[in-house]
Amino acid sequence: MNLTLVLLLVAGLVLLVAGAEVLVRGAARLAATFGIPPLVIGLTVVAFGTSAPETAVSVQAAWNDSGDIAIGNVIGSNIANVLLILGATALVIPLLVSKQLIRIDLPIMLAASVLVYLLGLDGQLSRLEGAILFAGVVAYSAFQVIKGRRDSAAEQANDDEFAEEFGQVSQGRWGWLKDALFIVLGLVMLVGGSQFLVEGAVQLARLWGLSELVIGLTVVAIGTSLPELATSIMAAFKGERDIAVGNIVGSNIFNLLCVLGLASLVAPSPIPVAANALSFDFPVMIAVAFACLPIFFSGYLIKRWEGALFLAFYALYTTYLIMQAANASQLELFQQSMLLFVLPLTALTLAMVSVRAWRQQD
């Protein structure tokens, strides 16, 4: 890998992460200046902001007719969010799972995962299907806003958390202008960073002889998931362990509905969905989403050993992608081992954990 390509990728990642931070900070403070409750800001502006890198990269890739990167970025980010980020965070400190998350947001994430898969079964995502997905995120955001306005009991706590996280609301007649400039700067950084990262990813795929889908599922997906990683780990260290989980679930919902929706709307032609993605990567993403159910239900806590299990599966998934790209001779043996031993044992373990948790609740 030459130095220019390395600098291109690093510059793209740095601009994406920094741009997302600047955009979220400016948008959150501007929203608060105009009287929008902090709870609503957290459920909408901040959730969208942590998905801003995925949005920028996938939209840019779709616009450039690099549909595999757009699709791979979303699938890979959702898998990395759960297996890598939740796994790593839970390994540091056990994570709390709120009952609201299990009752409302987790089922929405599962439904969105299945919906995107069904829409892509014909081998493409059209503008109409993109409009359907984007309408879904509009409805989800509206629901969160309405629900947030009704939840007045936690307003004072949220005010304190908002001031600690983003600083006091801008004062003075022109205070809002500074926040608006932050938003513009954040958007410019995101656009520039996405262009660098997409260009670097395409060159990397050609240099290594890998498909754009594999690069999107790994390098690009992990890079654009850095804001979620930082947010979840910092929330866990601050004692806001339920926020760490909510950030991941909310980000996955936005990735599926908003990122793919916008990418499909701006693409000059329908985004092609690779057969490999339909036969393997989409099912893995859906399986990972459903695997959250028994783990989240087990005492509403993600334990350290469950975090280690997530990390182990992410390592296996990444190993599979690398072996598949390299046409490794041991690929078939690896697949059989996963299907005959690892997955059944994991399913049995999760089933036993679920039954035990449900019995304890009765």
pLDDT of 337 higher than 80 = no
Confidence of residue 46 (pLDDT cuts 50, 70, 90): low
pLDDT of 161 higher than 60 = no
pLDDT at 115: 96
pLDDT of 164 higher than 60 = no
Average pLDDT score, the chain: 78
Please state, in angstroms and rounded to a whole number, the distance separating the CA atoms of residues 148 and 150.
5
pLDDT of 111 higher than 90 = yes
pLDDT at 147: 73
pLDDT at 263: 93
What token pair was written down for 29?
A: 């403070």
CATH domain 3-361 topology = A middle domain of Talin 1 (1.20.1420)
- Centre a 10 Å sphere on the Cβ of residue 206 and count the other Cβ atoms it contains: 11
For residue 77, give the H/E element and its range: helix 67-79
The tens digit of pLDDT for each residue in 235-274 reads 677 666 666 787 788 889 999 999 999 999 999 999 999 9
Amino acid at 320: Y
The tens digit of pLDDT for each residue in 319-335 reads 888 787 777 777 777 77
Task: Return the domain boundaries, the chain.
Answer: 3-361
pLDDT at 342: 66
pLDDT of 101 higher than 90 = no
The tens digit of pLDDT for each residue in 297-315 reads 766 778 888 889 889 889 8
Please state, in angstroms and rounded to a whole number, the distance separating the CA atoms of residues 283 and 167.
42
pLDDT at 117: 95
Phi, psi of 302 (to 5 degrees): -95, 110
- For residue 327, CA distances in Å to 11, 119, 287, 323 come to 31, 29, 25, 6
Please state, in angstroms and rounded to a whole number, the distance separating the CA atoms of residues 243 and 238.
10
pLDDT at 226: 73
Q: Which residue has the higher pLDDT, 216 or 74?
A: 74
Mean pLDDT of 36-61: 70
Burial (CB count within 10 angstroms: exposed 0-12, middle 13-18, buried 19+), residue 255: buried
